[in-house]
Amino acid sequence: MVNIKAVRKSNSGLKARPSGMVALFVGSTSGIGKGSVMQFAKYANAPKVYIVGRSKTAATALLNELERLNPQGTFVFIETDICLIKNADIVSDLIATKERKLDLIFLSTGFLSGAGRQETSEGIDTLCALSYYVRLRLIYKLLPLLSASPHPRVVSILAGGSERDIDIEDLQVRKDYTLIKAIRTCTTQTTLAFEELAKSYPTITFCHVHPGFVVTGILNKFTHTAKGMWTLPATLARWTFIPVVQLFGRSIEDAGEWGAFVSTSAKYPPAKPKQKDVGIALTEGDTIAQSTVVNDDGQGNGVYRLNNYGENVNNECDAILANYRQNHVGEKIWEETISVWERATKRREP
Ligand SMILES: NC(=O)c1ccc[n+]([C@@H]2O[C@H](COP(=O)([O-])OP(=O)(O)OC[C@H]3O[C@@H](n4cnc5c(N)ncnc54)[C@H](OP(=O)(O)O)[C@@H]3O)[C@@H](O)[C@H]2O)c1
């Protein structure tokens, strides 16, 4: 297993890599994404980084910090409400007009809410849009640019390794909505959708990461969504429980080091690398991670379910995924994802 020292050493190797990596970060205006874009900017050799967020004004301090960390870097902020498929399309079209290749998509949008199902104007649950539908739409639209990179990679920070049995007939979580049901549905869909994409795009690495417990604002924001009888316990938790458990969490700086590592290390090769060099060489004693599906020849599919130490997860969820693969659930999920996008797109037509 790699430790934080080895991760920092690996990341510092980014400086010696060819210049001009192009990366897209969505959800990096705070928390894990912010830590990751900062570490990536600190180490990368003259990168071009697109950052998508809701408010350029709120991101001014981050943009200034990124420019300070890497004066050779170019940092482009795209201001949009990224819970909409429409806006994901605008972002990807914009990047496609400006770039010839894209090396990295790093996705970490999300929130926790006790307010139940909240639909976007496109009819998708907002949590599911930010955790899955918009993330996958960006990847899907940017596949041509990713395919033009020598070693393309997608990293989605959600809950890789925590896939569960989900209601296949209710992938949009319309029935009996709970926060846990929504997160589980998005988590399981992410891994299976990545596996579907990897079949057609074997030169791309797909990493679905569980970041562990990271001290971000997500829990405090969650307590503010409590309603009715939950308001008092939530307020108490904000002043007592949360500050205590946060003592045991990972800082966003360290989470960012791990984020940059998963984004750049050769530990995570795609199924069919275009070239021998797929990332920063492994540190001594480290080994290549295991893909979610490995064929009889030992060839992995280039999809990784990773824990907070960047290691592939082997747990009780493997059997759930194996059963889903056998029953072609990934294909169903992908078809349903496309129809959800189509319905969302049609909604905006006059
Ligand atoms: N933190 C943990 O311990 C932990 C553990 C397991 C999984 N995760 C998952 O990791 C991901 C990142 O979590 P985090 O802790 O880094 O969260 P965070 O600090 O709250 O950051 C979330 C990001 O999503 C954006 N966002 C939130 N709601 C949005 C909305 N309605 N529209 C557009 N953008 C929105 C935020 O933008 P603004 O800056 O504009 O608010 C921010 O960039 C989430 O999916 C979370 O569930 C986190």
Q: What is the pLDDT of residues 138-175, one digit of tens each?
A: 999 999 999 999 999 999 999 999 999 999 999 999 99
111 lines ligand 1 (CB under 6 A): yes
Domains and CATH numbers, the chain: 4-214+252-347 (3.40.50.720), 219-249 (no CATH)
- Asked if 291 contacts 301 with a C-beta cutoff of 8 angstroms, the reply is yes
191 lines ligand 1 (CB under 6 A): no
29 lines ligand 1 (CB under 6 A): yes
Q: What is the pLDDT of residues 307-325, one digit of tens each?
A: 999 999 999 999 999 999 9
pLDDT, residue 2, reads 83
What are the tokens at 109? 């949008």
159 lines ligand 1 (CB under 6 A): yes
Give the position of tokens 């050493």.
Answer: 9
Nearest CA to ligand 1 atom 32: 83
What are the tokens at 17? 């890599």
Nearest CA to ligand 1 atom 12: 108
What are the tokens at 90? 């605008």
Q: What is the pLDDT of residues 118-143, one digit of tens each?
A: 999 999 999 999 999 999 999 999 99
Q: What is the mean pLDDT of residues 192-215?
A: 98
- Asked if 227 contacts 198 with a C-beta cutoff of 8 angstroms, the reply is no
Q: What is the pLDDT of residues 25-83, one digit of tens each?
A: 999 999 999 999 999 999 999 999 999 999 999 999 999 999 999 999 999 999 999 99
Q: Which ligand 1 atom lies nearest to the CA of residue 131?
A: 45
59 lines ligand 1 (CB under 6 A): no
Q: What's the gap in Å between 338 CA and the centre of ligand 1? A: 24
Confidence grade of residue 348 (pLDDT, cut at 50, 70, 90): low
Confidence grade of residue 11 (pLDDT, cut at 50, 70, 90): very high
**Integer Cα distance of 82 and 182 in angstroms:** 18
What's at 314, amino acid-wise? N
54 lines ligand 1 (CB under 6 A): yes
In this predicted structure, the answer to whether residue 4 has a pLDDT above a threshold of 70 is yes
Give the position of tokens 């909409």.
Answer: 84
Q: What is the mean pLDDT of residues 183-195?
A: 98
Q: What is the mean pLDDT of residues 82-97?
A: 98
Give the SS3 label for residue 304. strand
pLDDT, residue 106, reads 98
Calculate the average pLDDT of the chain. Answer: 96
Q: What is the pLDDT of residues 276-310, one digit of tens each?
A: 999 999 988 899 999 999 999 999 999 999 999 99
Q: Which ligand 1 atom lies nearest to the CA of residue 214?
A: 3
First to last CA, the chain: 54
Share of the chain above pLDDT 90, in %: 90
Nearest CA to ligand 1 atom 45: 110
- Asked if 31 contacts 252 with a C-beta cutoff of 8 angstroms, the reply is yes
77 lines ligand 1 (CB under 6 A): no
Give the SS3 label for residue 209. strand
In this predicted structure, the answer to whether residue 227 has a pLDDT above a threshold of 90 is no
pLDDT, residue 125, reads 98
Crossing angle of helices 329-347 and 179-200, rounded to 10°: 100
Q: Which ligand 1 atom lies nearest to the CA of residue 55?
A: 40
**Integer Cα distance of 153 and 227 in angstroms:** 40
Report the residue among 111, 246, 253 best suited for mutation to probe ligand 1: largest number of ligand atoms under 8 A from its CB: 111
**Integer Cα distance of 288 and 262 in angstroms:** 12
- Asked if 113 contacts 225 with a C-beta cutoff of 8 angstroms, the reply is yes
Q: What is the mean pLDDT of residues 223-249?
A: 89
- Asked if 213 contacts 268 with a C-beta cutoff of 8 angstroms, the reply is no
Report the residue among 26, 81, 107, 216 best suited for mutation to probe ligand 1: largest number of ligand atoms under 8 A from its CB: 216
Report the residue among 25, 109, 122, 309 best suited for mutation to probe ligand 1: largest number of ligand atoms under 8 A from its CB: 109
Q: What is the mean pLDDT of residues 217-234?
A: 89
